Structures are given as structure tokens and as C-alpha cells.
Chain A
Amino acid sequence: MKGTDSRGEPSTRPGPVLSQDLLARIPLKPQATVPQRVWHLAVAGYLYLAAMGAGAFIVAVVLDWFGLRLAAIYVSPIGGWAWDWSEALVLWGPLLAAVGASFLLLHLGRNWFLFPTAWRNLRSSWLARGFVILSTFIIVGMMLAAAAVFLPHWLNRLPVLWRVAQAVGLVLAVGTAVYTSVLLTSKKYFPAWTEPVVPFLFLAFSLSTGVGGLVVGAAAYRALAADPSSADAIVSALETAMLALVVVEAALLVLYVRHLRGGKPEAQLSATMLLSGSWSPAFWAGIVGGALVLPLVLGVFDLAVGSDLLPAYLLPVAAAVGLLVGGFLLRLGILAVGVREAPPLYKLSRWRAEHSAEPNTPPRLAGRQEQ
């Protein structure tokens, strides 16, 4: 019996004839050219918020160690002792990370309630390692933030203990930032994720978005505090740090795109999607414009010319918002353009299709191509 193939064209090979309606339900596209859709918005939100929370915590602790801290705001809704809310505005990283973890729960399937068992494969699973690191960071970080809010006078009496506790939180925050940076790199069959520069790019963005979050926190402090001058020194330091990080990020992003364009066919496809394809508006307007150009221009203008005529913190906050939006789009964009590397047999088929007229041409290997 002569049949038709799945495209509805006559086939010389025997086979049953199926309805075209049924066949049309599955386009037999080569899967190797389709971006993955398993990890998308929720996972991007999870990684972004966890990284931003870790970055914010790292920067806040380092600022504190350099003596840059907000003056206390004592407001006690209940109880007779002082609650200092100023620290809550800089130690809110663990809370962000907790919100991010809830995004992961939204992503999980039927057995989402089994997520506490996600530590069982620490030996080889980065997700399991990340679960442990992130959970510990959230718990320890929130305990530190709570202690800073509810027991401010105790912390002043026990400075060494407070420093040690901060150091423990700092180590966990660094671990969280590293985890969110290397998780994608560990999925080694997606060339857009396994570029060596990706962990450094994510690490830089976790710090810069953390800085952005702290700028917003300092602006909120200015609106709440009676004497907001202590925030000025912090915002000034954060602006300088933001500028430095943006320059580093720009260099890393250029390096990343260059590597993609000169890489495997799937990496080149990812680069095309980012630079001129479906993700180009997010890349150029959100990542390049929002996260790099805007903070750079506003930061240089604020430091060089000043913004006395503008409302306080308008430029730093605008730069921080651009950075925060761009940072999220970077996570989402790199996830969304992830194209799985073609399996060996598929590469072979592709090569034969391209070289069917030239059977003696040597195969193009799947490694990095010459520029």
C-alpha cells in the first residue's frame, strides 16, 4: 500500500494513511532548532529574585562593614522596646529570595508539595545543591534581618557576634549568587547556556540588581526617615558601584554575544534570536538600553553634573529601575533562546543534506567555527 508522509506528500515507502487533520496536530519540526519551553517565566523569576536577593544582601553587609549604615528609624507597633526599621530596608535580600522561591513552587507540577525532598541528589544535581544553599540563605538571612529590626540594642552590645552572623549570611549569599549563575551552565547541551562567560555575566548582574534594589530601599528610607542624610552617603557609594558593575556587564555581554555568534549552529541561532529575532526588542531596549546605557548615562550625569534641580534620588532610582528590569529580561532572554544542541545523528543528517552534492567534502565539526 502506498501511503503519504507526514507532510502530506506521496511516499514511496509503504505505510498507513492517516487523516491530515490528525497529522497536522504534530508539526514534525526538527526539535534541534526549537528553543526550549520547559524553563521559562517562572524559572526566570525564581533565578532572578534569588540572585537579586543574594546580591542585595552581599552589598548591604559590605556597606555595613565599611561603616555605611542608615540611621535608626524606631517605630514599635506593639511591645515596649524599640524596633529599628532602617536595617529592614537594606537586609531585605532574603525576603526577595523567598519570594523567588515561591515562583519555583508555581513552576512545579502535581507533586509540588514534595519540594522539601529536592535535596536528595546533592552528589550530582545543581538544583538539589541550590535548594539547600538557597533555603539556608533564606532562613539565616531572615533571622539576621529580624534580629536587626527587633533587637537593635542587643546587636550593639554584641558587635563581634553580629559580625560573625553577618559573615555566615554573606557566605550563604555568595553561594546563592554562584548557584543561580551556574545552574544553566550545568545543562551542557544548550550552547547558549554553557558559554563560559554566562556564570560571570549572571554573577555581575546579581550584584548590580542587588545594588539597584538597595538604591530603591534607600529611597524608601529617605521618604520615611525624619533625618535622611545617612542615606546620601549610601546612595552615593551605590551609584559608584553601579557604574563600575555596568561597565563590567557591558564587556561581559559583548563577549557573550561574540562567543554565541562564533559558536555552534544552535548558539548562532540563539544569537540571532537575541540580536535580530523575536527577543531583539527585549535585548536592545530592555537589556542594553535599560540595564546598561540608562544607568551609565544617568550615573555619569549625576556624578559629573549633579541633580540639584531634580527631586532627590530621581536619577539613581531611575537608573536602578532600568537595571532591575533589564536584569530580569537578561535572565528570561537567555533562558528563552536556549536551543538544545542537535544529537550526533541529527548533525550527521544536517551535514549530509548540506553536502549531498559534494560527497567528498569533509564534515563540519560541531565545535567552535573560525571567525
Chain B
Amino acid sequence: MVDGKVLIVDERKCTGCLLCVIACSVVHTGDIDLERAHIQVWRTDEDRYVPLTCHHCETPSCVRACPTKACHQDEATQRVLIDATKCIGCGTCVVACPFGHAHYDEVAGVSVKCDYCDGRVECVRVCEPKAISYVHSDDNYWVTRREVGLVKMAERLQPGGVLGVAVVPDGRPLEGELG
């Protein structure tokens, strides 16, 4: 189970301003180099913007694919992390990720991904529209996430429906809280 907090995204509020990407870049590289930021922003076919962070999957493909175990799941928090001192930069985690989140940092020479910055999530602090939030997850995070996904599927199929999957600690849909 994911312990502590999780990043969640409400794509309806994202303006595509890239402030989160800039902040992430500054925190992790000391410079504004957007391609090295750990968070990315996608534009969908509906011209919506979706900040993409690591989902910290329950069964992470990147962890399974990593030959050196540099990419690993933290036993205490269940977060998926990359140990830069062990990463050989083979890029197998990058091609293994179903979301295309992990990427290879050419300057650092290692693969990088969102690690929640040990709780000091700068992307959340700078997001003016509050599209990204850092909230407590409950013990049934994964179960609830699946249930919410199924329940909301019908709504999402309608034009204008919510893309993001998000829950609050008691399992209620997040959009109700933020809306």
C-alpha cells in the first residue's frame, strides 16, 4: 500500500503554463532546463493539458525491467525510485513504462522519474490553478483507485468528462472536493 501522500492531477484546471515543469527543473537540476524536469505536461487530442507524474504503480514495469535493481520499489512507502548511483543508463525503464514517464537525462547520464521530492513537492506549490495536489492516501489506495476508475468510466466517456483518476483518503472522487 502506498504510505503517506500521493500526487493527484485534475486536468480540468491545468492551463498548460508549464510552471510545474519549470519548478521541477530548478529543484532537480538547479537550472531551467525543461527537458530535464521530472514532471511533463501532455496535450491531449481534446486540447487539454495533463501534467504527467509517476503513478508509482502497484506492479511497476520499470522495476521489473531494470537489470541492476537501480529502479526499485521502496519497501516502506511503496514508492518507485531510481538510485542514481546504481543506474547504468541503459534506458530499459524508459521503454518499459506504460505512461512514458521515466526518461533519460542526457546531462546526468542516468534515468530519472518523479520521486515526490521527499515530500517537498515544488510543482504543487507553484501550480496556481491548483491542478496538482499532494494529499493523504488511505490504506485502500489501489483498491479505491480501481473502483473509482470503473465507476467514473461511464461519465468519462461523455465529452467534457474528467480524465484524471483521483481519490481522497476516504475513497470519494477527488473532483467533488476540488470542484
Q: Scan residues 81-131 of chain B and give those whose CB is less than 8 A from a CB of chain A.
A: 85-92, 94-100, 103-104, 108-111, 128-129
Size class of A's contact patch? 35 or more
CB-CB nearest in chain B for A353? B45
A370 to B117, CA, bound (A): 46
B69 interface residue per 8 A CB criterion: yes
Q: Hey, which chain A residues are within 8 Å of B95, CB to CB?
A: 36, 38-39, 187, 189-190, 338, 340
Instruction: Give the interface centre of B34, B92, B94, B161 by most chain A CB atoms within 10 Å.
Output: B92
Q: Is the CB of B88 within 8 A of A13?
A: no
CB-CB nearest in chain B for A17? B17
A120 interface residue per 8 A CB criterion: yes
Q: What does DSSP make chain B's interface, helix, strand, loop or mixed?
A: loop
Q: Is the CB of A350 within 8 A of B90?
A: no
A338 to B94, CA, bound (A): 13
Q: Is the CB of A349 within 8 A of B45?
A: yes
Q: Hey, which chain A residues are within 8 Å of B19, CB to CB?
A: 16, 18
Interface size of B by CB at 8 A reads 59
Q: Is the CB of B98 within 8 A of A341?
A: yes
A363 interface residue per 8 A CB criterion: yes
B171 interface residue per 8 A CB criterion: no
Q: Scan residues 137-169 of chain B and give those whose CB is less than 8 A from a CB of chain A.
A: 156-159, 161, 163-165
A120 CB contact (under 8 Å) in B17, B69, B87, B90: B69
A350 to B47, CA, bound (A): 10
B67 CB contact (under 8 Å) in A36, A111, A127, A189: A127
Q: Is the CB of A14 within 8 A of B129?
A: yes
A28 interface residue per 8 A CB criterion: yes
Q: Is the CB of A348 within 8 A of B157?
A: yes
Q: Hey, which chain B residues are within 8 Å of A36, CB to CB?
A: 94-95
Q: Is the CB of A5 within 8 A of B49?
A: yes
A26 CB contact (under 8 Å) in B34, B157, B164: B34
Please give the residue numbers on chain A whose beta carbons come within 8 Å of chain B beta carbons, in ascending order: 3, 5-6, 11, 13-16, 18, 22-23, 25-26, 28-32, 36, 38-39, 43, 104, 107-112, 114-115, 117-121, 124-128, 131, 186-190, 338, 340-341, 343, 345-346, 348-354, 356, 359, 363
